Amino acid sequence: MSTFLGMPAAPPRSPFGTGNLRGDRTFPEAAHGELRNDQLRHNLGRATRTIRTKRLNVTGELPDWERLRDAGSAVKTDTMNRLPELLEQLEQKVTERGGTVHWARDGVEANEIVTRLIRATGSSDVIKVKSMATQEIGLNEHLEAAGITPYETDLAELIVQLADDKPSHILVPAIHRNRDEIRQIFLDEIPGVDPDLDNVPAHLAAAARAYLREKFMTARVAVSGANFGIAETGTLAVVESEGNGRMCLTLPDTLITVMGIEKVLPRYQDLEVFLQLLPRSSTGERMNPYTSMWTGVTPGDGPQDFHLILLDNGRTAALADTIGREALNCIRCSACLNVCPVYERAGGHAYGSTYPGPIGAVLTPQLAGMHAAKNDPNSSLPYASSLCGACFDACPVKIDIPSMLVELRHQHTEQSGTTVEKLAMKAAAGVMGKPKLFTAAQKAASLGRVVGGRDGTISRLPAPLSGWSDSRDTAAPPKQSFRSWLASAEGAETMRAAADEGARLTAETPEEDQ
Amino acid sequence: MTTSPTARDTVLGRIRDALALAPTPEVTVPRAYRTGRTLPDGERLALLTDRLVDYKAQVHPCTGDDTAEVIAEVLRERGARRIGVPDGLDEQWLTAYDGEVQRDSADIPAPSLDALDGVVTASAVSCAETGTIFLDGSPDQGRRALSLVPDLHVCVVDLSSVVAGVPEAVARLVPERPTTLISGPSATSDIELERVEGVHGPRDLVVVIRTDA
């Protein structure tokens, strides 16, 4: 038992340099390259348009859609408020039903636990259900380094893995690839594939079926994520389409599930809300083809060895931020990506993180931080938005992403406090608060005229202020400040004249609009 | 000797710290969405059929007396000569079928189910509004592998087990049972968001709805 003693400490972010929560370039740098890719923009534009229409159709047909959103939002907020007791309850229920629960402080620890559990089975390969959490912690890379081969079984994840690529969308990770590219990837990478394979999606899907069938029938260990974990009953749920999830969750002897601590839900009844919100927001279907729900171990049915890993990896750091914690309510539907004008043009890779799009721009800095001193690409994410608000409207659990983006911009500006600009702003605030100092400063500022050009603007300041003048012109200070002009005889005369003029106009104006 | 805190203690401690640093007011969940809906038999049948057809599943309404005939006809049409059934499936349902029937048991290795032409199961609950069939591992539905590995799934649904919406369906479930929600055949939209029926799960889903059962 941990006893609460003394002052609470701010929980740590996901360790710097681990996992996939940080790109190697800032958003503008990465987007610059992506925007020149016509194929990518064409694929993305077509795909996001299609899914937007489908989503509006199926959310529009439910008369209580807004009430479902209200319920979903409140359930998640209530969950975060009661997280310790709910996780302890989930642990107790899973354990009672024959499962084993592990806790991981960060991705490194989770990867080590998964590796140890796989090694204990003697297996050198593992089949995987598409999972954001294992993508976030870089599990595949870790397993490969440990000599264990992970096989992604979701069609899009398989395409990404075979092409040694990175996912670019939460729901459709290969959204940046068209059918011709996918055909070529399969021809190059799938052993024994029919050389006459064409680009018809049904034929490409059949090729993936044939390739993975043997893996499903022989694999002894599977790794999955979880969409929901029910504290009340210990039930876990995975929502999917292809049946690869059912295969992984049913056929192997050992199942290892990695779940972020924020995925817990209080009651089994809460599924009635989320099984409506998630599919309609995500794929734009009334229901996804398959959902699997299991509670610990069932004798004679499915894996007899079940492990649940509860992952922190920066989630508690997000929880410690009154505004930022709302990002933890995300159910990974990806509706915000599909409505975002910035995502639609830049694509998912520009965000550099497992979580792209509007939710990624707020969740990634919450989990992994924004390191001012390291020119962190994550510091650029809160600016990857026009603040149009479409994401807020689309979110099934009503996450106010625009407000969070503004808050993160504020935090970024506050913490990047070592620049000369920042010091200048602080000095200005101090001076403006003291009239005598301010007057003196204005006198000094008129000396700035020497750097102004003939047009009265300063377009190039010397270092270290050159960064400021790179992006804007500054008006050169006038000869005389307003305050010194006002105190002069000329200023006093002008003010008197203006007052007389004002009094005369008031007297002449008929009283109409009272 | 001091022991370092376990990951469990550390994570729970961090959560308590976070909640102390950023306390938020208690919330009450507003459950103003539709629950406890009922619809007449005809409407539930029409709605469920419409949704299933939309998912490219085949639907055969029939009476309880015709169950065996309809199942046999479906299997004959598809040339299914060897099928698997859960151990608790009603024997009456197979009296018209002349192919080979393998009654499932836990000692049959799951990969060998791949050699079956199809599987016939019952179902626990269905949701009309979303076209979703719930299997819960009861003796007439079998273990999860049985309704997953074969490429053809013939699923029998009694109209009395069909409810209007998702809340009504979830209320009928037994949480501890391994539960599978099926809404049409296996599908993917991973290639250019074009829906393709049939990846890893059964590519052919036939639903026999018994309107008087």
pLDDT in tens, A409-425: 999 988 876 556 666 66
Provide, rounded to the nearest whole percent, the portion of chain A with pLDDT above 70: 85
Which residues of chain B are within 8 Å of residue A316 when distances are taken between CB atoms?
11, 14-15, 17-18
- pLDDT tens digits, A68-98: 999 999 999 999 999 999 999 999 999 999 9
Q: What is the ipTM of this complex?
A: 0.96
* Region class of A414: left (phi > 0), else alpha (psi between -120 and 50), else beta: alpha
pLDDT of residue B2: 54
Asked if residue A461 has pLDDT above 70, the reply is no
Which residues of chain A are within 8 Å of residue B17 when distances are taken between CB atoms?
8-11, 316, 320
Query: Closest by alpha carbon to A401, among A371, A377, A365, A348?
Result: A365
pLDDT of residue A513: 43
**Does A212 reach chain B within 8 Å, measured CB to CB?**
yes
Which residues of chain B are within 8 Å of residue A88 when distances are taken between CB atoms?
12
What residues does each domain of chain A span?
62-318, 434-494
Query: Closest by alpha carbon to A279, among B63, B143, B208, B166?
Result: B166
Pairwise CA distance, residues A178 & A308, whole Å:
36
Give the confidence band of A472 by pLDDT, cuts at 50, 70, 90.
Answer: low
pLDDT of residue A371: 87
- pLDDT tens digits, A379-392: 999 999 999 999 99
Pairwise CA distance, residues B207 & B209, whole Å:
6
**Does B177 reach chain A within 8 Å, measured CB to CB?**
yes
3-state secondary structure A5-74: CCCCCCCCCCCCCCCCCCCCCCHHHHHHHHHCCHHHHHHHHHHHHHHHHHHHHHHHCCCCHHHHHHHHHH
Q: Are A319 and B22 in contact (CB under 8 A)?
A: yes
Give the confidence band of A12 by pLDDT, cuts at 50, 70, 90.
Answer: very high
Q: Which of A156-165, B28-37, B195-204 has the highest mean pLDDT?
A: B28-37
Q: Are A332 and A347 in contact (CB under 8 A)?
A: no
Residues 6+ apart with CB under 8 A from A86: A79, A231, A264, A266
Query: Closest by alpha carbon to A319, among A90, A19, A79, A92?
Result: A79
**Does B1 reach chain A within 8 Å, measured CB to CB?**
no
Asked if residue A450 has pLDDT above 70, the reply is no
Q: Are A176 and A40 in contact (CB under 8 A)?
A: yes
pLDDT higher at A509 or B167: B167
For A386, other C-beta atoms within 10 Å of its C-beta total 11
Asked if residue A338 has pLDDT above 80, the reply is yes
**Does A206 reach chain B within 8 Å, measured CB to CB?**
yes
pLDDT of residue A496: 84
Give the pLDDT mean for A279-298. Answer: 97
Distance from first CA to last CA of chain A, Å, rounded?
A: 70
Contact between B24 and A175 using a beta-carbon 8 Å cutoff: no
Pairwise CA distance, residues A109 & B7, whole Å:
9
Query: Closest by alpha carbon to A354, among A169, A100, A511, A164?
Result: A169
- pLDDT tens digits, B120-170: 999 999 999 999 999 999 999 999 999 999 999 999 999 999 999 999 999
- pLDDT tens digits, A421-438: 666 666 667 667 776 776
Q: Are strands B152-158 and B187-188 parallel, antiparallel or unpaired?
A: unpaired
Q: What is the pTM of this model?
A: 0.87
pLDDT of residue A375: 83
User: How far apart are the CA of B170 and the nearest CA of chain A, in angstroms?
Assistant: 6
pLDDT of residue B198: 81
Contact between B12 and A109 using a beta-carbon 8 Å cutoff: no
User: How far apart are the CA of A23 and the nearest CA of chain B, in angstroms?
Assistant: 24
**Does B183 reach chain A within 8 Å, measured CB to CB?**
yes
Distance from first CA to last CA of chain B, Å, rounded?
A: 68
Give the confidence band of A514 by pLDDT, cuts at 50, 70, 90.
Answer: very low
pLDDT of residue B144: 97
Give the pLDDT mean for B52-77. Answer: 97
pLDDT of residue A482: 79
pLDDT of residue B138: 97
Give the confidence band of A172 by pLDDT, cuts at 50, 70, 90.
Answer: confident
Q: Are A259 and A309 in contact (CB under 8 A)?
A: yes
Q: Are A239 and A278 in contact (CB under 8 A)?
A: yes
Contact between A301 and B178 using a beta-carbon 8 Å cutoff: yes
Q: Which residue of B has its CA nearest to A230?
A: B175
Contact between A235 and B176 using a beta-carbon 8 Å cutoff: yes
Query: Closest by alpha carbon to A287, among A305, A303, A306, A274?
Result: A274
Domain A62-318 matching CATH 3.40.1390.30: the answer reads no
Give the confidence band of B4 by pLDDT, cuts at 50, 70, 90.
Answer: confident
**Does A322 reach chain B within 8 Å, measured CB to CB?**
yes
Token pair in block for residue B121:
């199961």
Please provide residue A496's backbone torsions phi and psi, each rounded to the nearest 5 degrees: -65, -45
pLDDT of residue B9: 97
Pairwise CA distance, residues A239 & A228, whole Å:
9
Domains, chain B, in order of start with CATH, read 40-210 (3.40.50.10420)
Cross-strand bridge partners of residue A149 = A125
Mean pLDDT score of chain A? 89
